[in-house]
Each structure stands twice: as C-alpha cells, then as structure tokens.
Structure 1
Amino acid sequence: MTPTVCDLFERQVRERPDATAVRTSGRSWTYAEFGRTTARLAARLRRGGAGPGGIVGLVAPRGPQALTGIVAILRSGAACLPLDPDDPPLRNREILDGTRCRQVLVAAPAGWLPGAQLIDDPTLEDEEEAPPVAPDPLDLAYAITTSGSTGRPKVVGVPHEGLSNLVMASIEDLDLVRPDDVMLWTLAVTVDSTMHDVLMPLCCGGCVAVPDPGELPAAGMLRAVRALGATVLEIPAAVLGPYGGSLLPRLAEAGVRLVITGGSQLDGPGLADADPLVVRNGYGPTETSVAPLWYRCDKSTPRWVPIGRPIRGVRAYVLDEELNPVPDGAAGQLYIAGAGLARGYLGLPGRTAAAFLPDPFSDVPGRRMYATGDRVRRQPDGEYVFLGRADDQVKVSGFRVEIGEVEHALRGCPGVADAAVLLRRDAPGGAALVAFLAGTPLPDEEISDRLRDRLPRHMVPRFHVWLDRLPLNRPGKIDRAALAEMPFAETRADRRRTDDVT
C-alpha cells in the first residue's frame, strides 16, 4: 500500500529530527520541533472531533502558521479546507456550511468565526501529544474551492491516494525535490499546488522556506531565494513564459537548480538556457490532484511547451465526442484516469457525475475518468501538447477561432512580452477580438501586418491595448475577468475591418 503524506512526514520526524524542516527570515524549526508543534495542534483538533471523514477549515495567509495548520489538520486525520482571510466572510461561511465543516483554524481572531482555534494558541503548550492518526488512502486529504458557473463555489475533495501518488512520483521519478533541497513557498494557501509544494519536501527530509508576507512578484522571488537559500521554487507559467528569459539566469546564479511551473499554457523562449537550472512544466486540473502530467524542458523544447506525459498510476486518453480514441497527432479532449482523481465536488453529486465519467477502458468496475475540457494532441513520442480549452473557441465571420493560437502568434511579435485575447462584445463597432499586450509598444499597423503573415484575416485582433503588465489572479493565471471589465478606446489596429463576431 502506498504510504500517505502523513506516513512519510512521520518517518522524517523519526529519522531526521535535527534537520531543518521550516525556515523563515526570522527563525527555523527542526523536524523534531515542527513535529511537536503540529502534533499538539492535531491532538487539540481530535479532541474537538476531527478525524478521518471530517473537514477542518484553515483561514490563514501564506506563512508558518498556515503551514503548521495544514500539517496539523492532516495529522489529525481530517481533510484541510484552506480559505483566504481576505475573501468576503459571507462566501467563506457559505463554503464552510456547505462542507459541514465544524472546526476552523485561524491565524488571527475573526469576528465572523467565533470559537475558531488559534494556530498559535499558547495553551497548546500544555496539550498532550496523542498517537498519530493513520488515514486511509481513500480518505480526503484536502478540499479546494473553485468558482462555479451557477454562482455557488464548487469544492473539490481530493483523497490521500492522489496526493501521495503525486508526492512519491515527485521524489522518486521526477526529481522535483531532494533531501538537501530548500523549497520556496510562492503560491497562495488556497491554490492546490501549495499542497504539493509544501508537503513534498516535508515528505523526503527537505526544507520549506516561507518568505515574508505579501505578494511575491518576480523581483521578490529572487530576493527571497537569496535570503532563504532556496534551491527549488514554483513560478506560474503566466509569469515564467514572458519573463523567464531574464529571470532564470539570475535564479541559477543564486543557486536554484529547479523551477516548477504550471497553472496555464507555458509559452516562452529560453527556458533551457540557464544551465544547470532545469524547468519542469506540470499540467493538471484541481480535479486530478494538482498535476498528473509533467514535461522537462530541454534545448529542443518549442516555445509552445508540451504538457508532458502521465506520472505513475495515471492514465491519459485523447478522445473524440463519441469517447473514441483518436490517433496520435489528432486533436481531441483529454480525459484523466487512475490514482489522481478527486472524489468529486462535495455536496454536488450531479456536477460530479457530469464531469467524472465511467472509464470504458478500465477492466475494473467502477473506475472513472475526468473530462478536463482541454483539447490536446498526443505526439508520436508520447508527449501531450495542449491546444486550448474547448470553451475558448469563438466564431469570427462564421470561422471558428482558437484564442490560444492568436495569443501565441502575438507573443512572437517583437516587443510583445505577453498577450491575452478576449472577445469583447462592447467594442466600438460591435463585438471584436481585443488583444491586451505587455512589453514595448509597437505601432498597431505593424502588429497587424505581422499577424497577417501568420494568421487568417478573421483571427487578427481589431483592437490593441498596451498595459505595463497583464493582471494575474490568485492562482497566478491571467485574470481574464479583470480584462473583460477594462475600458479601452478605439485604436488603429484595423479600422477598415468590420468583421461580424458571433
């Protein structure tokens, strides 16, 4: 039986008690110290009723308190439900009630959470450590909220089996972490990749480096790497793609050996030009345990970076609309099956059944596969290439347009560091493709002329909007909702065009 992350952490506490488990700019904790701290908090949670099958909320920003909370909740046997303290209390309350969460850990008292347990409660010093609870691989390990099309947030429940499978593959197969690594924690607590980034080093004897609070832009990452001695960190693809060419060499000089990326399509040059630093691109929806496919960038990697191949215990299918396999090189929807699947959307059986389908290619009754909604193709070498979201297609003059193809062409224009394209129905003259660009502004006519050398006329955006940088949302993806609300004026992109968009 595959050990859970709890089993792996307990082993490190026993075998490496004096090794550094957690490091901040102000202090550090050994495995023995961090083990005692989390064991006491776990015991307090268990006295309050936490255990396998239950969910404990965590309302804390990125920091040592949040890390203590994550590990303590897992050691109590319960699943961790991270929530952002800056989100509206009404929304957080709705999520807690919807998941029947009866206990909540907080970094600071909150008026809307009377009775919540403080992570740094001084009375925990008197709490007796209890024997650790060993969760079953099918018990939930964590739950992550995602936006719901009905207005109600969806909560994805991920079992220990999927998390442990990813962590073990990361350690033994992918070389994402080593016992002598220092992993810089860069993402928000509520992003599912955080579970991977902070638990992976703690399961192999490595160290988690926690930067100072606040946002962590590219320059801040570099400062944190130098201050904390980090050797591994995650940078969202929306940041690494446009800025990796200048950032990666400086990270390599600072001692970073590996950059993990993901969250969106990685599109950028020079990702293998900072030897000996390596870039690993991970792909996966929250419903498939963070990232079930991985790709290692090398000198032959194209700018539109592949998403790789499945890790151990995971199967990937490329299927047509009738759920039939398509040949290598053909486009289809990606379906994921195997050890990484989430249990589903908690409290939403209908939505779960619609997304998690019976696996027709498994000999084991009851096995499921997840419909990602992503269009991909499988190359002859076994690597998968992301082509775009099925719902990213729009029609211009009756032609189907892949937004991702337009964005990729824009990023190839001189001076364009990053690009996002939206269909804006409020555009002057009617609905139109609008390109939001970051970099060194070029004349609109020059961009349009370059695009017409690569794209059909109907795929060339009618308007260009230059920004200092594209806005990112909390998971580190381009914030398309913010761009959809951003005002813009008519430009010279192509006033002669009056394409109808449907």
Structure 2
Amino acid sequence: MDFLQKFSESVRRWPQKDAFCIGKDLYSYEDFASCISAVRSVLKKEAGKSRQKIVAVLAWDDIYSYASAYAIWLEGKTFLPLSPRNPATRNNEILRQTGAELVLSAGPVPRTILSATHIQMIDVKGLKSKGIHIEPAERDPDDLMYILFTSGSTGKPKGVQITYSNFNAFVKAFLDIGYSFTENDKFLQIYDLTFDASLHCYIVPLSLGASVYTVPWNEVKYMYALRLLQNHGLTFAKLPPSTIAFLRPYFPSIRLEKLRYCLFGGEPLDRDLVTEWRQCVPNAVVQNVYGPTEATVNCLEYKIPSDPGEIKHFNGIVAIGKPFGKNRAFVAGKNRNALDLEQKGELCVGGPQISPGYWKDDEKTTQVFFELSSGKKKERWYATGDIVLTDRDGDYLFCGRSDGQVQVQGFRVELGEIEYHTRTYLRTQAVALAKENYLGTQQIHLFVEKCDDPVALREFLSRKLPDYMVPSEIIPVEQFPVSVSGKIDRRKLYEMI
C-alpha cells in the first residue's frame, strides 16, 4: 500500500484515536478525515474549472493546512507549500515560476506575505463536509507529489520536484529499517511545512495510526518541543541538532524516559553534543540521518553507539552511515569517477528516491543530476555538494560542504576543522565563514555562541591551526539565528560580516 492507502486504513481502524495535537486542540482520525473531505470537495470543484495541477497552500500550523495537503494528494495533484514567514516577493516568485493560480489558506492572507493578483484564494477554515471521502483518485506514480523551493545561487528560489513514486519509496525504505512502531506511538513535528522533514514527521505516523504533536511556527521551537516531549510522553522525535544545542544548558534537568527513537538530521551533528544528550534520553535509539531534498527526505542513516568512544566521526562530526532501502551512494572525484576508501570526494546518491530535477531549470538540473551505465541500464544520480569519505566498514563520514573548502593565501582550508577546534575548546556552537575582502582575498570569520573571551579563543586556535587558518575575526553571538527548518541561518551570519 502507498502512504495514502495506509492513511485510509488508519482512519478505518482507529477513527476515534487522536491523529493530531495542535496547540491545545486534539483532532481524531475521523475529525481529520472530515476536514480533508471538506477541503477536497471545494478543491475538486475549483481546480476542475481551471484544470490546475499544482495547488499552493499557505502553510500555517493548523489542521486545515495539513488537511489541504492530503486533499491535494487524494486528488492526485501537486502540493506547493508557501511559508507565512516568507516575504510576499518570495511567495509571489514561487507562484510565478510554477504558474499556480489556486491558493488554499485558513483565513485571510496579509499582503505582506502574498500580494500576487492573478491568484484565486480559497479560505478553507471552517469548511464542513457532507461525509468522508478519502479514496485516492487515479494517478501515475511519476506524477509530482510536491515541489519544495530552496535557496538558489542566482537569488531566485529553485523548485525541487518529488514524485509520488519517490516518496512512497522513502516511506517503505524508512519503515523497513526495523523500527517497532505501533498505533500508540506519539511523533513530534517541529518543522515548517515548507521543509521536507515535516512530511516525514506527519505522513509516516498517520500511515501507522499514530499521533502527531506539532510545534507552532511562531513559537520558540526548542522550548515548545521540550514541553511536548515532557508533558505528553512522546516516543519519536526527529530534530535539527541546533534544537538540542539550544537546550544544552537544561540537560541536567531533562529526562525523557518515554522517548523510544531520537533522530537528528538537516545539519552536522556534533559528537560531544549528542553524547551529552544521551543522558536525557536513556531508553532511546539515537540515529543520525542524512538526505538532501533532492533525494526525498533521507537516504542514509547511522545508529549512534551508546559508548562515546565507538562513535564514528570526522573532526567531531558524527558519521552519516550507510544508504538504507534501495538507495545507493558513492564518493566521486572531479570527473565523477568512484574514489577508493578513505579518500575525500563529493557524495553522490542514487536510487528510487532521486528527484526528476528542478522545476523548469534544465541548466541547473544537468549540473547536478547525471546518469551512469550499470550493465545494460543507466542509473540516475544526484551530486550533493557534500564532501565525504567512506571507512573500511562502508560508513560515510561527513567532512564538510564543497563550498566549505576555501583557498586562503594559496592553501586549501576546510572550515569544519576550525569549527571542530572551537567546539572542543568552548563546548558550544561555532560557524566559520569565508568572505572576500576589499583586496579580493578570502578572510575567515568565526561566529561563536556565548564566547566571553575571544582573545583566549584566538590564542587557543593559534596553537592548534596554521596561521593562515586562524580567523581574522571572531564574532561572539548570544544565540545563532535559525531558518524555518531549524538550521543555523548562515545567510544571516554573512550579513553580519
């Protein structure tokens, strides 16, 4: 069964069981299915008039946003989430690129977040259904399930296309890892709905008959998530590492004994941080998961040993492990030739989860998606831009971004090494960035959270690093800015230089 069929089965088997906890409100599977049916009825009517295939949703944290996504999928259409945290210019640009004319939203939409004039807005809040209709319409597995827009180097967002086939392959591969999920599990959903990790955190539990506990987009996410974990006894949490970095001062008082699975993804995971966090989650399986949006949520995973001395890492960053399911990977050289063990190169991933490419951007697609012959068949691959190496056990170790390697005074510098020594010294978060100065040469700027003595830090780094790697500027910050996905917002840090 695909994820929609699994959801329909959940509704049939557990109609009165909680599907969502959003704020102070609980919604049963029957409530949610009724909401989906109401939105679907209007969508069928309005989208049918214009034959619109792509339907946008202004993705607030409410039951109507989740219902709108399912209504779109049950109709076999393409979900296009728009963030209420985006400025109107960005949301307008996404609508322009896709040609989407139909936008679903729970309530009025301020012109500060959407001002396009060619669109038809449908207020789905409070719609009532005349029954439950959650049977999936006919569709092709290769139809687009969603388009997520990520930052583009040209200044315009680029749209990553994911098919129903891609996503169903992910769900099957993830569940086949070996989790012992039941309908009694409670999943945390901390991510903005424009980020693909959110799909993981609500579609998978709804396919199992489990419950989803959401973190509102306008809350302090790490504190709200902690309250949910503590007060509701959640059993599954997938988090950006930044979340627990913010919680680090509270570790001595945190004990989440009911948490059974704790996954980290979206950014590099620090070995010392996760080692300390383990004391807070004594009964949890802890994993580091990896996957670019172009490879449908996650495609590699690493189960983190309970013994800190056995944790595989590179410069203190926890390994990303091995491909799961039918995913594949290799380390590529400059000509995309496969490199030997323990040689650094670009991580390339392949398999049934790989995106068809970027929306109406053939040039960008051909730069990073490619085919390689395998026997009589050709396999499709995606070049991630992440620098990795494989150890003798076949585990992949994350070494940094390809754009995290910079040339300073003629020397190649990996910014991750500077961050590693800083974390070792201060036991706090650090981000090293390189930026061209007025002379046209690269200078290294180091941002450090809660650094009281930058002079002492510089002296420490000068003892650990060659002089060309010692940052020209150390910038203390009280707290790192984060993006809607919960990652450290490096773009905002660049603006501070």
Q: 1:4-403, aligned counterparts within 5 Å?
A: 4-49=2-47, 54-110=53-109, 112=115, 115-122=120-127, 124-126=128-130, 129=133, 131-175=135-179, 177-212=181-216, 214-240=218-244, 242-243=245-246, 252-253=255-256, 255-269=258-272, 270=275, 271-273=277-279, 274-298=281-305, 299=307, 300-301=310-311, 302=313, 303-361=316-374, 363-365=376-378, 367-403=379-415
Whole-angstrom CA distance in 1 between matches of 2:51 and 2:271:
43
Do the aligned residues in 2 keep the contact of 1:53 with 1:140 (CA within 8 Å)?
no
Rounded Cα–Cα distance in structure 2 between residues aligned with 1:30 and 1:363: 50
Cα distance per residue 1:189-238 (max 9 Å; x no partner): 11111111111100111111123451333222211223443222222123
Distance 1:339 1:252, change over 3 A: farther
Partner-residue secondary structure (3-state), 1:360: strand
Q: How many residue pairs get matched?
A: 480
Secondary structure of 2:318's counterpart equals coil
* Mapped partners of 1:250, 1:161: distance in 2: 44
Q: Which letter does structure 1 place at the counterpart of 2:123? A: L
Choose from 474, 477, 490 the match for 2:487: 477
* Deviation string, structure 1 residues 73-129 (Cα, Å, up to 9, x no partner): 21121121111123222321221232122322112222636631222243x434783
Contact 1:43 1:76 in 2 (8 A): no
Structure 2 Cα separation of the partners of residues 176 and 285 of structure 1: 26
8 Å CA contact 1:154, 1:346 repeated in 2: yes
Q: Which moved more, 1:197-206 or 1:25-34?
A: 25-34
Q: State the shift of 1:329 in Å.
A: 1.0
Which whole-Å deviations, capped at 9, do the CAs of 1:422-455 have from their partners, x for residues lacking one?
Answer: 12445999752111101352351x3233223432
Aligned equivalents of 1:348, 1:480: Cα separation in 2: 25
Pairwise CA distance, 1:11? 1.8
Change in Cα spacing, 1:426 to 1:34, as seen in structure 2 (3 Å) is same
Q: Distance in 2 between matches of 1:265 and 1:4?
A: 31
Distance 1:245 1:73 in 2: 40
**Is the CA contact 1:63–1:213 (under 8 Å) kept in the aligned structure 2?**
no
Q: Secondary structure at the match of 1:125?
A: coil
Q: Structure 1's 404 and 363: CA in aligned 2 closer, same or farther, altered over 3 A?
A: farther
By how many angstroms is 1:5 displaced? 1.5
Q: What is the CA–CA distance in structure 2 between the aligned matches of 1:418 and 1:262, rounded to whole Å?
A: 16
User: What is the CA–CA distance in structure 1 between the aligned matches of 2:183 and 2:251, rounded to whole Å?
Assistant: 23
CA distance in structure 2 between the aligned counterparts of 1:92 and 1:27, rounded to whole angstroms: 29
Match of 1:468 among 459, 463, 478: 478
In 1: Cα distance, 2:255 partner to 2:284 partner: 6
Q: Which residue of 2 aligns with 1:499?
A: none
* Deviation at residue 279 of structure 1 after TM alignment: 2.3
Q: Distance in 1 between matches of 2:32 and 2:449?
A: 43
**Counterpart-to-counterpart distance in 1, 2:39 and 2:157:** 29
Contact 2:390 2:396 in 1 (8 A): yes
2:59 alignment partner AA: A
- 1:53–1:79 CA contact under 8 A, matched in 2: no
Q: TM-score, normalised by structure 2?
A: 0.89
| In structure 1, distance between residues paired with 2:238 and 2:75 | 28
SS of corresponding position for 2:493: helix
Residues 1:441 and 2:426 are matched in the alignment: no
What corresponds to 1:497 in structure 2?
A: none
What whole-Å deviation, never above 9, does each CA across 1:245-297 have from its counterpart, x for those lacking one? Answer: 55667554363222222111111411544421232211111111011111121
Residue 48 of structure 1: SS of its match in structure 2? helix
When the two chains are superposed, the root-mean-square deviation of aligned CA atoms in Å is 2.6
Contact kept in structure 2, 1:171 and 1:204, CA below 8 Å: no
Partners of 2:346 and 2:440 lie apart in 1 by: 35
Shift of 1:356: 1.0
SS at match of 1:412: helix
C-alpha distance in 2 between matches for 1:228 and 1:99: 40
- Structure 1, 299-308 or 426-435: larger mean CA deviation: 426-435
Q: Which amino acid is the alignment partner of residue 121 of structure 2?
A: A
User: What is the rounded CA distance, in whole Å, between the counterparts of 1:153 and 1:160 in structure 2?
Assistant: 22
Shift of 1:331: 0.9
Identity %: 29
Matched letter for residue 348 of structure 1: D
**Would the alpha carbon gap of residues 313 and 248 (structure 1) be closer, same or farther in structure 2, given more than 3 Å must change?**
farther
User: Are the equivalent residues in 2 in contact too, given 1:257–1:277 (CA < 8 A)?
Assistant: yes
Matches within 5 A, 1:482-493: 482-486=492-496
Instruction: Describe the SS at the equivalent of 1:165.
Output: helix
The residue type equivalent to 1:15 in the other structure is R
Unaligned runs of 5+ in 1: 488-502
CA-CA distance at 1:309 after TM superposition: 0.9
Which sections of structure 2, spanning at least 5 residues, go unmatched?
none
Letter in 2 for 1:265: P
Change (3 A) 1:130 1:277: closer
Deviation at 1:386, TM superposition (A): 0.8
Deviation at 1:411, TM superposition (A): 0.7
- Asked if 2 retains the 8 angstrom alpha-carbon contact of 1:356 and 1:368, the reply is yes
**TM-score (normalizing by structure 1):** 0.88
CA contact (8 A) 1:171 1:178 kept: no
Matched residues in 1 for 2:46 and 2:300: separation? 38
Q: Is the Cα contact below 8 Å between 2:233 and 2:256 reproduced in 1?
A: no
CA shift in 2, pair 1:73/1:153, >3 Å: same
Measured after TM superposition, the shift of residue 457 of structure 1 is 2.2
Q: Using the alignment, how far apart are the partners of 2:375 and 2:14 within structure 1?
A: 41
The DSSP-based 3-state class of the residue aligned with 2:60 is coil
1:416 touches 1:441 (CA, 8 Å); kept in 2?
Answer: no
